Amino acid sequence: MTLNEYQERAIKEAFYEKDDVVYNALGITGEAGEIADHVKKMLRDDGGKLTDDRRESLKKELGDVLWYLANMARRLDLTLEEVAEANIKKIIDRKERGTQHGSGDNR
């Protein structure tokens, strides 16, 4: 499945107002928080080791982030492949200029 195929399925199966930027942004941050919580529990409960169960839980949460991301990108008239390609170009540019470290969107 390509990213764009996934995006079309996610949009088709959405059970909420998929055009709502705020709802999708909150969904992304909420699910990212659940990822962080699983990592915290990995440190606290699993001795810092990634167990098979924890890996499966993280996979589910990553999928939830992807779901909201797909719908938010659609609202912004972007495909997931456009977002992915732009991100890789940005990372390569930063690496070539030696600006991977630091802060700011436009480094």
Report the share of the chain in percent with pLDDT over 90: 78
Q: Give the confidence band of 100 by pLDDT, cuts at 50, 70, 90.
A: confident
**Predicted confidence (pLDDT) per residue in 20-50, tens digit:** 899 999 999 999 999 999 999 999 999 999 9
Residues in CB range of 76: below 8 A, 6 or more apart: 21
Mean pLDDT, residues 54-66 taken together: 98
What is the DSSP annotation of 72-84?
HHHHTT--HHHHH
Residue 9 to residue 36: CA distance in whole angstroms: 26
Residue 9 to residue 30: CA distance in whole angstroms: 21
Mean pLDDT, residues 82-98 taken together: 94
pLDDT of 107 over the 60 cut: no
pLDDT of 72 over the 70 cut: yes
Q: In 10 A of CB 61, how many CB atoms?
A: 19
- Give the residue among 32, 25, 31, 11 at the shortest CA–CA distance from 79: 11
Query: pTM of this prediction?
Result: 0.84
Whether 80 contacts 73, CB under 8 Å: yes
In a 3-state reduction of DSSP, which class is residue 20? coil
